[in-house]
Every structure is written in C-alpha cells, then in structure tokens.
Chain A
Amino acid sequence: MADRALADVRVVDISQGIAGPYATKLLADAGASVTKVEPPGGDYSRRLGPFPGDVPDPEQSGMFLHLNTGKRSITLDVSVPSGHVVLKKLLAKADVFVAGERASTLASWGLSYDDLEGEFPELIVAQVSPFGATGPYADYDGNSLTAMAMSTIMYNTGEPDREPLTTGGAPGEYLAGVHLWLGILAALENRAKRGGGDHVDVAMTEAAAAADEYNTAMYGFQGAVRRRYYSRHIFGYPQDIVPCADGYVVMIPGAGGFPTPLTKDTLSPMALLLEQPELNEHPLFLSAGERMLQWREFDELIRPYMSTHTAAEIVMTAQALRMPFAFVPNAADLLSDEHLEQREFFVRVKHAKAGEYAHAGAPFKMSETPLAVGPAPERGAANADVLGKELGYSDDDLRILSDQGVI
C-alpha cells in the first residue's frame, strides 16, 4: 500500500452537513485519522439523502456516504457538561479540532478557540460558519444559497429579467469546505515550523467570494457594475451552452475561432465548423463587440448546423479545428464516461449497511501518496474503540453516558 501523506495528523471533527465534513474527508482521504463526533441523533446529513427507494435510513444517506469516507464515528453530545469532558480528552490527543458552528454557539459550549487555547496551545481550531466568527454579521445564519448571494457570483448567473440563480449542487458549502481544508493545512505547516496552534476561521461567504472572477475588479478598477446577462462573460460571444440535435454542447470558439485582423484572409475554424465559408465575411464574424450585442442574429447563423448535428460530432469536429468546445454531461453520463473510466476517477466503495456505490474519487492524483477513499462509518461504530480503548472509559462509564443520552 502506498504511503499516506497525512498519516501523522489526528483530527477531531464535530461539524455536520457538507462544508466541515468535506474538509475532513479531504484530510481523511490523504491518510489523516479523523474521529467524527456525531450528536447522538447523528450528523444531519444522515437525513439529507438521497435514499434507495426514497426510504430514509441514516446508514444509507447518499450525502453522508459521499462526505464521510475514511472516517470513524463516535456519538457524543458536546453541548452538555459530561459530553464536554469527554471531548476535551479527545482534544488532548488531537492536532486539529473542526467545528461547523457560529461563534456564539461554539462559545456557549465552551469550545471556541479562546476557550481552548490555554489548555491546548498546540491545537488548531478550525471553524466554518456562514458569515465568519467576527464582524457585524457573525451571528447571522446561512447556507450555500446565502453564501452564493453575498459572493457576487449569483448576481451574474441567470437571465436578465428573471431572478439571479445559484450554481447547482450546494457550491457555497463545497467552497467553504475546500477553504477550511486549505486553512488547516496552512496552520499545520506553520505549526510544524514554529510551533503553536491557531484559529482557522472560514466564512462560507468569503470562501464563495474568493472565487470572484472580475465582478469586484470591474468596479474597483473601472467603476463599472456588471449585470446578469444569461450568465455570459463580458469578453465575447459565444462561450455558452448551445442546443444541438441530441442535447447540448458548450460552444467556445476560443482565441482563434473567428477571423482576426491577422487571420482574416484564411477561412476561420468557425466558418469551417458551420460549413458556411461565406460566414467568414459576415459582420458578426468580424466584430466581437457587435456579435455580443446582436447575439440573437448570431444564433440564427449557427442554428442550421447545430440543430442537425450531434454533440459528439460537433465537439470532436471543433476540437479537431482547435476550438475548445466541451460536452455537457449529467450524473449518468459522468458515471459511464470513457475518459473518466480510463483515469479510474470513480472508485467503488463497499459499505456494510448501504452496499456498494461508485464514489467521486481523488480530486487530484498524487504520484507518491494517492488519495484513497474508504467507506463512511456507521453511526457511533467506534464508540467502544475510542471511548473505551483509547480514553479508558469502563463499560460501566459508557453505560451511564449512554443512559444519559450523551453517547
């Protein structure tokens, strides 16, 4: 078996849902030991589904299985004093403590960085919250949608006369998870060199706003405010999803697709693709600015070809003409995609209760320490191991904690 990059990192994670668990999944897949501390009722992602046959089952929730690979689970109510005591014993052996609560909630549990710093000076306290642990909105609540709203991304996604749209798939949560993971790794690097724990404070809003491409730049450097215009870039048209005979493709002529002042005497790739050489002289082929404003007319020029060719024909022909067109797959297409299969992207993982599913595999391939996706844990499966063997609680102690509803 290959080496694990983070084999020496121990994480205690009380976060639930998507952002925090995605961060610790990335650590666990790289070999960190992640102890997931679930409330006695379980991480709420055990209730998000999807479920086989739509029958809720906390051990078969797709989101839970997806986000908690390679972790072990214990149950513990960290909001009550006896649970707090147990958690502190776990923190004494941990490098990183991950929480997904607002500052006021964490402080009410005595688990903020300020509460823990004195006792655990080497502990990295990583916290992801909707708006961040400080500032006037620190107590505000939110989720992926509110993060995307604040990020400026949503304002520019969608049609001009309709409401702004979020990107699909809870992207604000994943962005926050990725930035929490990045922050933890940076704090670990810092601690290795200079010693000392840290507070890693990630706001979901700021994680999404970090992805801004040029909305704030257009104002900060030009005084221009960009509107929502069919999710289109301001740089030119088309760079868009366009219907074709059997679905959709992304039509991206790229830097060389249309005639330029330097290339206007040869037939452009777009004219070749559309099989209409006369278009090379068309005003909308020659002026990027006019093409953007008169896009409806341009769409008429491409319709005859697009409506009679398949996505595969269009994309392969365009790529051969050195234009970076792309496919628009859905989940089923991805799961059967030949390119992804040859790259062994999807990984089949067997779970004792849920059975076997293809999981999205490593988001990047490391030559020496490839990420490995293990099964997600059953709720509280590691209670005996962690609380009994590692922390030394006796069977009687565990029974009492269980009777009190703490574990």
Chain B
Amino acid sequence: MTQHELPLEGIRVVDLTHVFAGPTCTRILADLGADVIRFESPNRMDVTRNLIITDNDGLDHPWHRASYFVIRNANKREMVLDLAKPEGIAIVKKLIEGADVLAESFTPRVMENFGLGYEQVKQIKPDIIMISLSGYGQFGPMRDFGAYGMGLEPASGISSITGYAGGPPMRSGLSFTDPYSGFMGAGAILTALAYRRRTGKGQYIDLSEQEAAIPIMGRALFEYQMNQRLPDRAGNRSPWAAPQGCYRCAGDDRWVAISCVNDAEFERLAGAMGHAEWVTDERYATVLARHEHHDELDAAISEWTSQRDHYDVMHTLQAAGVKAAAVLDGKEALLDPQFAARKQFDVIEQPLLGKRPLHKHVAARFRRFETAPRRPAPLFGEHNDEVLREVGYSDEEIATLKESGVVADAPNVPVPGQFLSMALKLPYDRYVEAGILQAVEPDYREQLGIAGDGAK
C-alpha cells in the first residue's frame, strides 16, 4: 500500500549546517518528509556553492550552479540572513519557536555567541531536539580544533588500516566520515524523535565526527586489546576471505572485486575460471593455504580477468555463485542497470541547470512511501519572502530587512564570479593530461537521457 505522506511530514527543521556532513543529515530528514529550512549568510556563503559548477563554465551567479551544493540540499528551503545582526538572530529565534529540530555544524562556541546554545534555545522551544555536528565534539581538549572532513577519517583511525600492503596510511577518495556522520546524525534525530513522541521531551545531541566512525575500527580495537597487535594495512585483502582482491580487467583502468569467504566459493571460482584442478592443488586447497599463496593465486586470477570486461567477469562469477562486482566509476554507476532498476538516481529539474541526476541519500527502500526529492535545491535565499511571511512578517517589514542587509538574495562576494566558479583552477584538458580526469564528454546529457529544455 503506497501512501502520499512521508514519515516526517509536519516536522520542521531549522538547518544551520553547511558543507557536507550536516547537509547530508538534513537532506535525509527532508527526504523523509521534514520541512527543512536552511540558512546561509550573505557574507559567508556555503563554500560548496563553489564546488563543481555545472559544465565548469563561468556564467553569472555561479552560486546557483554548483552540483556539490545541489546534491546535498535538494528538498530544502533556504533563507539568507546576516546572523551578525540582531535582527537576523531574531528571525532564527522566531523560526525555532515553531521548529522540532535545530541542526548546526559550526565550530563549538559559535552558537552560544549567537545566543543559540542549547540552554538558550530550550527557553524558546522547550521540547526542541538540537544536534551539533562537529569534528571533535562539544567538549574535551580538542573541541576547538579546526576540522575538515579529509582530516577526520584519519582522526578516526580508519586511515591506519587503509592502504597498500607495506605502504603508508591512506585516505579514501572522498571525505568518508562526512557522509558517514551525516547518516549517523539523521538516525540520532530519529531516535530522539521516537523518545519525544513517547514522553514529550526534547534533548541535545553532541555528535563528534571522529567518534561516530570509530566503531568501524572494531576489529583493530579488539585485536590490539586481545593480542597487543595492530592490523597491517593489507590492500584489499581480508583475514576473513581468500582469495579477496581487486583484479585488472580488459580496457582502460577497469577492475573487478572478487571475494571467496569459504572453500565452496573458491571451488565455484576455480570452476568458473576453468581451473577445477586448483581445488586439489595443495597451494590452494584450504583457506590457510590460500592466504599463504595469495600472491600466486592473484597472479593467476588476474591473468583470467585481464582478458575480460569487468562487467562480464562480475556476471559470470555471480552466475557461478561467487561474490564479485565491477569497480564502477562515476559514469558507470549512473548507467548501471541495478541502480537504475532501484532508482538510485532521482532526476530533478533544477532551475538554470535543467534535468540532473541526484544520488539517493536514504539507502532504504520502503513499500509505503518513496524518498524521491519533491523540490530542487534552493537558489541563494530563494525562500526569504515565503518563510518570513509564514512566520508573520509583513511586506513592509520584509522590505526593511532587505534594505538593511539583514536579508539578502546574493552573496557579498569580494572576488569576481569567474574566480569563484572555477572548481578546478585550470582548464580541464590539463587535468585529463595529468591523469586526474579520465575524459570530459560533451554529449553526457544525451548519454544519460537527461538532455532537453531547462539548462540555461
């Protein structure tokens, strides 16, 4: 039975987060039906409005064109307020009166300086659920540390177990703990909403991005406590599977991931590759032997995979009952049949940009409701008037707020838009030449089936 309403319909979120982790958290609440009103400052716009400008052009108003921003902020409304002015703070407080959730991701102390610390906010709305997402938490000796996502995955310990065997610790190819803590934050709020539903009580949630990801270190934490050993960096290998790895396939930089967690799976792998004799080969017959002779086995597997397309290897091995997956790049993911069948990418109509694919932030699929975005990402300050009217400001008052610069619909950017809009600071062909980008395909919208009107 499908319903029209979403679980969080009627829940209002005042969203003072920015960049990646916080907006991921509130995007999930929005996708589940909450009315999320985000805030930016005319003097300090969200830096992600400068990241990955559509078609990498330098058109006017680049801050309306950044894909990085659009992806995490679809489904939300937005006001642009100068929080350095008391009238700006007064508007936020007015909105908090009618809000259920307040989310923020400033460094600690900023909210208190605004007069918006939890104790102060509780005076305005006693049952508010407030969450602070920060790098290292709201107290403790490192609370005032500046923190970017790329530093917090290493800070959580995960980089110490990521990397090639014998090599240095490595980061993931993204700010891993940012989305991870955004997901955790959304679950924390849902937990608090369940409690409020039963008791009427709100509460405060202190989420440290470093801490939220430490449970992923579970095995290493126990290994050290039990045996005073630190797990080695092991590339793609695992103590729980052999062989396990990422193998080169035919084509430019194409790869497949394969994992055999027991003898039965290995027997099926050997059979599928035409090497039934491996099962009785003493180098490979047992999982211990396979761990021991992993390098030889990898070479033999690579010889087979390198002649074949990565998707073909995946389908062949899966048909034989072996865990395998093509290693997808960004384009391949957008075109993958399984992702397409399960609507992993919702197409929205974004003002100025036309139809664009956005990856789902709520991974769960439900029978009763769908979490597709109901509105595009907001333009800078798009909902200033709408929201102010909703909380009782008259047209005259709104005009005064705009005149005095409390409310704005363009950033006070001290540098030309052209400078701002260059997410990559040099022409793309230089990045292709350096091997940082694979290609830039001018017909990508046709390939994705999203060509058509709307892009300006």
Contacts and interface: CB of A to CB of B under 8 A. Distances in A.
B322 A141 contact: yes
B32 A135 contact: no
Interface residues of B, number: 180
A199 interface: yes
Nearest to A221: B67
Interface in A122-144: 130-137, 139-143
B274 interface: no
A331 B223 contact: yes
Contact of B437 (A226, A239, A252, A364): A226
A152 B330 contact: yes
Contacts of B231: 331
Nearest to B220: A331
A364 B206 contact: yes
B63 interface: no
Contacts of B372: none
Interface string B428-441: 10110011111111
A334 interface: yes
Interface in B218-246: 218-227, 230-231, 233, 235-236, 238-241, 244-246
B176 A219 contact: no
Given A241-B169, A250-B154, A215 B329 contact: yes
A38 interface: no
B178 interface: yes
B259 A145 contact: yes
B173 A224 contact: no
Interface string A153-193: 11111111011111111110011101111110111111011
Contact of B151 (A168, A196, A325, A362): A325
Given A152-B329, A210-B183, A211-B180, A328 B169 contact: yes
Nearest to B130: A367
A220 to B, nearest CB: 4
Interface residues of A, number: 168
Contact of A179 (B7, B364, B440): B364
Contact of B170 (A50, A66, A231, A360): A231
B339 A228 contact: no
A155 B173 contact: yes
Given A158-B164, A188-B194, A229 B368 contact: no
A212 interface: yes
B52 interface: yes
28 contacts: A168-B161, A169-B158, A171-B216, A183-B364, A187-B366, A194-B5, A196-B368, A202-B363, A203-B342, A212-B174, A216-B333, A219-B330, A220-B330, A221-B52, A221-B356, A226-B330, A232-B173, A232-B436, A250-B154, A289-B426, A324-B135, A325-B151, A326-B151, A328-B155, A343-B137, A345-B211, A345-B214, A369-B195
Given A141-B321, A192-B194, A323-B146, 13 more contacts: A52-B227, A145-B259, A149-B328, A189-B194, A207-B363, A213-B174, A217-B67, A222-B440, A226-B330, A241-B159, A289-B430, A326-B154, A369-B192
Enumerate the 10 nearest inter-chain pairs by beta-carbon distance, A residue then B residue, closest first: A62-B222, A183-B364, A156-B173, A326-B151, A223-B444, A289-B425, A168-B161, A215-B330, A324-B146, A221-B67
